[in-house]
Structure 1
Amino acid sequence: MRESAAERHDRLLGLVRERGSARVSDLASLLGVSPVTARRDVEELAGRGLLDRVHGSVSWPRDAAAPAAPAAGPGGSGLVIGMLAPSSTYYFAEVIRGAHEAAARAGARLILRISDYRPQEDQDRTEKLLAAGAEGLLVAPGWQHPGDPAAFGDWIASLPVPTVLLERTPAVGSPLDGLDRVCSDHAHGVLLALRHLVGLGHGAPLLMARADSPTAVAVRSGYTEALDVLGLRAPREAIDSVPAELAPDAFEEAVQALHAAVRGGIATAALIHNDVDAIQVVQRLAELGVRVPDDLALIAYDDEVAALADTPLTAVAPPKREVGQHATELLVERLGRRTAGPRRHLTLLPQLRVRESCGAPHAPTGER
């Protein structure tokens, strides 16, 4: 099976972490890729703060723990923390950054493995983190579908070290429900978006969303809950969104459904998950004669690249970096205790960052 970019990034980070620093040309040879690919990977990882880059070489970030296990004592815990994430890009890049920063402040070493949203490989990758010396774990399983927690999750509850779940909410009463966890409250984020659009004079906003991640599932359920809170009915069933580059025909079908809803007077406002889809939808709608925000007020969900659109998109911003920070702090505290203490479920609230796409006056600091 061809290695994914996420897996290659995982190997690259491991090589730099082991060596402390390395030349990009040497990394290309070790990874078995072209120098161009290695440079592109290094630039991406350095841009996310996971590596430092200077004059053809890269090194483990200066604010991180040293590649060797740090000595315990004043200013250093000597801890090794393992982190399993489904991706090192898009949403989880900021979660990883937050965890990395918090680990560095605690004098701990953070080691990372990426599942590339293949939940069947989560357990094996986590076992490799333990084999590498992880004394505690931050785990964001690569679940994509509602049945994945039951099919690929029970092993997490029996891990031999303290574990904190990241951005995952298991079923109430399940074995995983008894673990520490830190999550974004996506239902609250959706309510912020719908309440803002309704406050601008729109009827019930339409939802266009993916269904391929726990965030997508939470946005969909949060949409139903928000409509109930606001006393509204959905103008039509949610439009299924798909990545344009993977399924162009299905993406076009989704855009056409949204276009028909706008032209038919069914909806004047929409919430779209995620940012990339929202940007591409706006571009295609413009080609079809629908203008944002004049004909359609639009809010995106995730706020990764929403501000970079031609018409900057108002967006719900989950507290991704803070999720990583708080989860790491909770794990460090857990590892430092002699007794287990009560488990904690920490839920952080997203913000709404108001820009031009919803038709409201620009609010630089965003709503909360």
Structure 2
Amino acid sequence: MRESAAERHDRLLGLVRERGSARVSDLAALLGVSPVTARRDVEELAGRGLLDRVHGSVSWPRDADAGPADRPGPGSGPAPAPASGSGPAGGGLVLGMLAPSSTYYFAEVIRGAHEAAARAGARLVLRISDYRPQEDQTRTEGLLSAGAEGLLVAPGWQDPGDPAAFGDWIASLPAPTVLLERRPAAGSPLDGLDRVCSDHAYGVLLAVRHLVRLGHGAPLLMARADSPTAVAVRSGYAEALAVLGLRAPQDVIDSVPSELFPDAFEQAVRALREAVMTGVATAALVHNDVDAIQVVQRLAELGVRVPEDLALIAYDDEVAALADTPLTAVAPPKREVGRHATELLVERLGQSTGAPRRHLTLLPQLRVRGSCGARNHP
């Protein structure tokens, strides 16, 4: 299977972190990609503040205010303590965080967690699983070995069967644990843990209701099925239609990463085009942002314009605003998830073992831009 852009970014960050600095041409060789691809990756990561770039080279940022846990590499070791934290040597609280990625969606979750840890005078230690759930347990045990007294855990689940296959160990961890952006099966051992999640069903309802109020019928859903968020968006779509008394115009269009499965992605785009051209639907919700931008570009080449012919809303709001036509998007409260989960963990560490567990659900927002401004339809 080809490596995804997110996985490549994590490898690039890891290389720079290990070396302190590196030439872009050397990174291209180490990553096994073209210099053009390496420069593009570096520009994106530098734009997010994850790297410093100067004269053909990149370096690991040294901004103490942002803190190294905001700029993680692929977590083979703990992040250095922020300037304001005392670390284990100074007797400060140490929190461990397992995340499936350090880029895209989880970059903001990590940022929120780091900010909250710094405010609490704690050190945040980060490890990344690269969406390999079979490695989650080992990496989490590494956090405990590094001195973590409490844990923030976002397992690298992708398939529906992953929680059952790679989740039971979480309930028996010897330290207080808070799940992030993961909803285990009701009644399972993991369901009894503290957790902080975005309410993706509510986010989908916001999108569908907005499109209907613009005069459209039920929108189509084009979505992946390779992450807990994708699964939640799919189930939320069915719930939203039921709440609004609508029927899906056709089955969900299955999407895949275009860089990994270009033929299947093309097939999905053409299915969406066919639905528009035949009048089946005049609006669509697309998960995720990257797919949505690529969908809009390909639709334009196939003669379908957004928003003139199709009103479109993306889900995630990571890069939606950067499209040629800025995309209306559902924005899960990613940074707030990290912040509230860390605050809950710190509070938990200061409580007695009998204190009630909590499930905290945060509501996404709809950020309206140009892509849903298609003409009203009767």
Same fold (TM over 0.5): yes
100-109 vs 160-169, greater mean Cα deviation: 100-109
Report SS of the residue matched to 1:224.
helix
CA RMSD of aligned residues (A): 3.0
User: Is 1:160 paired with 2:162?
Assistant: no
- Please tell me whether the aligned partners of residues 272 and 300 of structure 1 are also in contact (alpha carbons under 8 angstroms): yes
User: Is 1:331 paired with 2:366?
Assistant: no
Q: 1:87 to 1:71 in 2, by over 3 A?
A: closer
Q: 1:276 to 1:228 in 2, by over 3 A?
A: same
Tell me which amino acid in the other structure corresponds to 1:8: R
> How far apart are residue 233 of structure 1 and its match?
0.3
Could you give the per-residue CA deviations for residues 7-32 of structure 1, whole angstroms, max 9, x where no partner exists?
5367458759xxxxx4557xx89xx7
Pick one of 4, 8, 11 that aligns with 2:11.
Answer: 8
> How far apart are residue 307 of structure 1 and its match?
0.6
Aligned partners of 2:366, 2:146: CA distance in 1, in Å?
40
Partner of residue 265, structure 2: 251
TM-score, normalised relative to structure 1? 0.86
> How far apart are residue 333 of structure 1 and its match?
1.1
> How far apart are residue 42 of structure 1 and its match?
7.4
- Please tell me whether the aligned partners of residues 80 and 133 of structure 1 are also in contact (alpha carbons under 8 angstroms): yes
Structure 1 residue ranges, 4+ long, deviating more than 3 angstroms after superposition: 1-16, 22-25, 36-61, 64-72
Partner of residue 357, structure 1: 371
Could you give the per-residue CA deviations for residues 242-268 of structure 1, whole angstroms, max 9, x where no partner exists?
111111110111011111101111000
- Please tell me whether the aligned partners of residues 283 and 310 of structure 2 are also in contact (alpha carbons under 8 angstroms): yes
> How far apart are residue 2 of structure 1 and its match?
11
Runs of 5+ in structure 2 lacking a partner?
69-78
Percent identity over the alignment is 80
Tell me which amino acid in the other structure corresponds to 2:144: L
- Please tell me whether the aligned partners of residues 50 and 60 of structure 1 are also in contact (alpha carbons under 8 angstroms): no
Partner of residue 206, structure 1: 220
User: Is 1:229 paired with 2:243?
Assistant: yes
Q: Tell me the matched-pair count.
A: 350
TM-score, normalised relative to structure 2? 0.84
Q: 1:33 to 1:311 in 2, by over 3 A?
A: closer
Aligned partners of 1:88, 1:81: CA distance in 2, in Å?
17
Runs of 5+ in structure 1 lacking a partner?
17-21, 362-368
Could you give the per-residue CA deviations for residues 39-90 of structure 1, whole angstroms, max 9, x where no partner exists?
9887765544456789975455413489359448xxx981111111111111
Q: How does 1:1-368 map to 2 (within 5 A)?
A: 4-5=7-8, 8=11, 11=14, 15=18, 22-24=20-22, 47-49=47-49, 58-63=60-65, 64=67, 67=80, 70-71=85-86, 78-359=92-373
Tell me which amino acid in the other structure corresponds to 1:173: G
Aligned partners of 2:123, 2:41: CA distance in 1, in Å?
22
Partner of residue 365, structure 1: none
